[in-house]
Amino acid sequence: MYSVNVRDHFMIAHSFQGQVFGPAQRMHGATYVVDLELRRAELDADGIVVDIGRAMQLLHAVLGELNFRNLDEESAFQGRNTSTEFLARVVFDRVAARIGAGELGSNADGLSQLKVTLHESHVAWAAYEGVLPARATA
């Protein structure tokens, strides 16, 4: 399996519900470094997994939807603890949807899996990975 990784970051504010979170129940900020790993079994006709520049733009656009937001005020997250694990899945789903919509171009047709890792710090991170749905072709 071949892979390409791109990295970006975003900053949010949020709080958690539940005693397990201790002081993180109060409003606090987080800066996440995000790694997006795109995978495919075989290289495309150009000898690449995907255009790295387009992958970077796509990740930046997805993270831009979250950057500098108070997630407690976002209707999409009402009633949810926006943990690092949860946010990794959110980013995964949004990236997968954009890939499915063709935002990485036709050379992304062979992509089969992706992994999103959110680094809270240099010692703690969480990830979500999965298979990409087959892209519908016209």
Q: Where are the beta strands (DSSP E) in the chain?
A: 2-14, 28-40, 69-70, 113-119, 125-131
Report whether CATH 3.30.479.10 matches the domain 7-17+49-131. Answer: yes
**pLDDT tens digit sequence for 49-75:** 999 999 999 999 999 999 999 999 999
Arithmetic mean of pLDDT, 21-42: 94
More confident call, 32 vs 138: 32
pLDDT confidence of residue 28: 94
**63: its two tokens:** 């993270």
**pLDDT tens digit sequence for 78-129:** 999 999 999 999 999 999 999 999 999 888 889 999 999 999 999 999 999 9
pLDDT confidence of residue 135: 62
